[in-house]
């Protein structure tokens, strides 16, 4: 997996990069937003760890530019703030996940690994089934042309169900692909997220519960 770490705190960026290389990842670093875009254009990047407050070009501008170009890179946004408003803003720009500073290194690694499992250049950029259209590049979800505003977890669950192409997905598989393995969700988290997703998708209902096995679209 190729990871690009983008942070103007050079010591922090280099330390993260060194640690990730120890995890077996191929890692580059950039210290401003413009350089991040240059490196992304020169070779495929699977996951970008992107600080929001960058010189030359902000993290927001980098994320917006990547989505406008149709880049499939998964973006983990870093920020000094961690409010709900920040999370919503980052997701609206096309970020895949959000982590507030200061953060645990183990949590950072687990988030990167989770994004790496979800992404990849071989994955289709648009998933469609039963009138639901999910654009994995621009992070746009629609049902019958109606735009949907989903949380990160709702988006992740829907993406996994769509990718299963009618197959049954177990709650454990959803946890492994959508949630942070170092911060396991509560016992009802998957059930609650699926319930909220059902409600946002509207009628007729699309997500079927298969007793003792899981869910399918």
Reduced to 3 states (helix: H, G, I; strand: E, B; else coil), residue 86 is helix
pTM of the model: 0.62
Q: What is the pLDDT of residue 85?
A: 54
Q: Which residue has the higher pLDDT, 27 or 140?
A: 27
CATH number at residue 188: 1.10.10.10
Quote the number of domains for the chain.
2
Asked if 12 and 96 sit in the same domain, the reply is yes
Same domain, 111 and 72: yes
Cβ-Cβ contacts under 8 Å for 42 (sequence gap 6 or more): none
Is residue 121 pLDDT above 50, yes or no?
Answer: no
Which residues, in sequence order, are CB contacts of 103 under 8 Å at separation 6+?
78
Q: Give the range with max mean pLDDT: 34-48, 86-100, 120-134, 178-192.
A: 34-48
Do 11 and 85 lie in one domain? The reply is yes
pLDDT band at residue 182 using 50, 70 and 90 as cut-offs: low
Q: What is the DSSP letter of 8?
A: S
DSSP assignment of 126-172 equals EEEETTEEEETTTTEEEETTEEE---HHHHHHHHHHHHTTT--B-HH
Placement of tokens 């895949």 in the chain: 96
């Amino acid at each position: 997996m190729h990871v690009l770490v983008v942070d103007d705190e050079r010591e922090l960026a280099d330390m993260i990069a060194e640690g990730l290389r120890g995890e077996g990842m191929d890692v580059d670093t950039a210290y401003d937003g413009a350089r991040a875009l240059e490196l992304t254009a020169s070779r495929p990047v699977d996951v970008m760890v992107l600080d929001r407050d960058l010189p030359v070009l902000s993290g927001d501008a980098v994320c917006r530019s990547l989505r406008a170009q149709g880049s499939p890179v998964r973006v983990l946004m870093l920020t000094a703030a961690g409010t709900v408003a920040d999370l919503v803003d980052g997701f609206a720009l096309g970020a895949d996940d959000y982590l507030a500073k200061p953060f645990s290194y183990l949590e950072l690694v687990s988030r990167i690994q989770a994004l790496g499992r979800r992404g990849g250049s071989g994955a289709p950029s648009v998933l469609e089934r039963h009138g639901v259209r999910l654009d994995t590049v621009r992070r746009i979800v629609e049902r019958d042309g109606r735009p949907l505003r989903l949380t990160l977890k709702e988006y992740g669950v829907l993406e996994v169900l769509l990718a299963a192409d009618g197959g049954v997905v177990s709650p454990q598989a959803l946890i492994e692909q959508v949630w942070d393995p170092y911060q396991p969700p509560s016992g009802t988290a998957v059930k609650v997220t699926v319930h909220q997703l059902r409600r946002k998708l509207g009628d007729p209902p699309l997500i079927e519960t298969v007793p003792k096995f899981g869910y399918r679209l």
